[in-house]
Amino acid sequence: MLELNCSLTALVNTNATVYTGVGCPEVAVVCGMNISWVLTEGTEQDLLNMCLSEEDYLAMYRGPLRSPVFLPVCVIYLTIFMVGVLGNSLTSLVILRYRVMQTPTNYYLLSLAVSDLLVLLMGMPLELYEMWQNYPFLFGRGGCYFKTFLFETVCFASILNITALSVERYMAVVHPLKVKHMTTRAHVKRVIFMLWVLSMLCAVPNTSLHGIDLLPSRFGREFPRSAICHLVKPTWLYNLIILISTLVFFLLPMLIISVLYLLIGLRLRRERLLTVVDVSCSFGPDSLSLSHRQRLSKRNIQVTKMLCVLVVMFGLCWAPFHVDRLMWSYMDYSSDQHHEIFGPVHIFSGVCFYLSSAINPILYNIMSTRFREMFSHMTCYSNSWPIPSSFQMTQRSTLSEKTPTSMKLT
């Protein structure tokens, strides 16, 4: 292949050899630009860039076509994908299939499982594809809107579901007699529906700021392969939206949740102390009601512990995600040092983000006896096999609560 001499000295000096073949007009064709424009208006950087191949030019301004950490991240993501899809699918099936599992608390967990499945089934493949081929973005403006809208909606829906779940648990433990209307399935379904609608509405502002970004035409050449899904509106507006969303949809809810679980913990501690005193002083028929209260207290403690751990893990997994967004909003894009710091943070936040979608079913299995029994029944037993005795007892106790008083006395 004939060599080009596109240095500043060669182009300015009319006696220099610019091209070892035909001459300067051919150079203009090969380089895709007007040489006279370069001589009068071009900078030294223009002269360095004008004869780069399209691949080299895109690599300079868009980075490598494939992420250098694609392989290890892909292995981690696929592991999370398999565990998360299996776990959240089982969680959803267990709650939908068994009526005894259709409690207000579990409806919120079902909503959370649906949110996690959306992330894993739709969000993760898109991100893996972008890591494998950073550009061009092949799904157009509509695909870019969908991707941004999905991640924003899931982000907001997850934290709102966790907050609503914590409020429900607080009311069930601290004010059990005042909130009977909150324990109905219809009420919980309405709340969950409104949370999702609110999440979608709040996802619109950030989605509207994104679009397809192309490198500007240079040297008479267009670069359609440079298309990426990126911010296309003013940066200050994006920074403001990210700051508000971090405060309103992460820091404030986590503060509220922390206060609620502190109050729940204090209430459960007081109930446990009262139960201990009653045990030492009760005899005869009163011991039956005391035994029932002990079982309820034990159940409340188990559920609260599980949800408390779930909230802590949620906060730990989502904190890097919000740090990543804030760093991207306020970093100096011209600083190589900032890019070096941001790269590992971005990878780590992505792993934590998807890990939060896979870890919840594991927590249910470890910390909830009822979920563990249901998971075991779904995976290890056919419909013709007997249900574990503890599950039968749960069903009987649930039915007995609806039995008329006269029949109970009989």
Question: Tens digits of per-residue pLDDT, 124-138?
Answer: 898 888 888 888 888
Band (pLDDT 50/70/90 cuts) for residue 69 is confident
Do 332 and 373 lie in one domain? The reply is: yes
Question: Are residues 83 and 224 both part of a single domain?
Answer: yes
Give how many domains the chain has, as a whole number: 2
Phi/psi at 110 (nearest 5 deg)? -65, -45
Question: Do 25 and 89 sit in the same domain of this protein?
Answer: no
- Where in the sequence is the domain holding 31, given as residue range(s)? 8-51
What are 341-387's pLDDT values in tens digits? 888 888 898 899 999 888 888 887 777 777 777 777 777 654 444 44
What's residue 221's pLDDT? 67
376 in the same domain as 252: yes
Q: What is the CATH number of the domain that holds 341?
A: 1.20.1070.10
Do 38 and 79 lie in one domain? The reply is no
Q: Are residues 38 and 90 in the same domain?
A: no
242 and 390 fall within a common domain:
yes
CB 294 within 8 A of CB 355: no
**Same domain, residue pair 129 and 28:** no
Give 88's strand partners. none
245 neighbors 206 (Cβ within 8 angstroms): yes
CB within 8 Å of 157: residues ≥ 6 apart:
111, 115, 195, 196, 199
Q: What is the mean pLDDT of residues 163-186?
A: 76
What are the start-end ranges of the H helices in 180-335?
185-208, 235-246, 252-281, 286-330
Same-domain pairing of 128 and 249: yes
Spatial separation of the C-alpha atoms in residues 268 and 273, rounded to whole Å:
9
In a domain, 167, yes or no: yes
pTM above 0.85, yes or no: no
Instruction: Return the SS3 of 23.
Output: coil
pLDDT tier, 402 (very low <50, low <70, confident <90, very high otherwise): very low
DSSP bridge pairs for 228:
213
> What is the model's pLDDT at position 391?
39
41 & 148 share domain: no
Segment holding 231, helix H or strand E: strand 228-231
Strand partners, 231: 210
Is residue 274 a part of any domain in this protein?
Answer: no
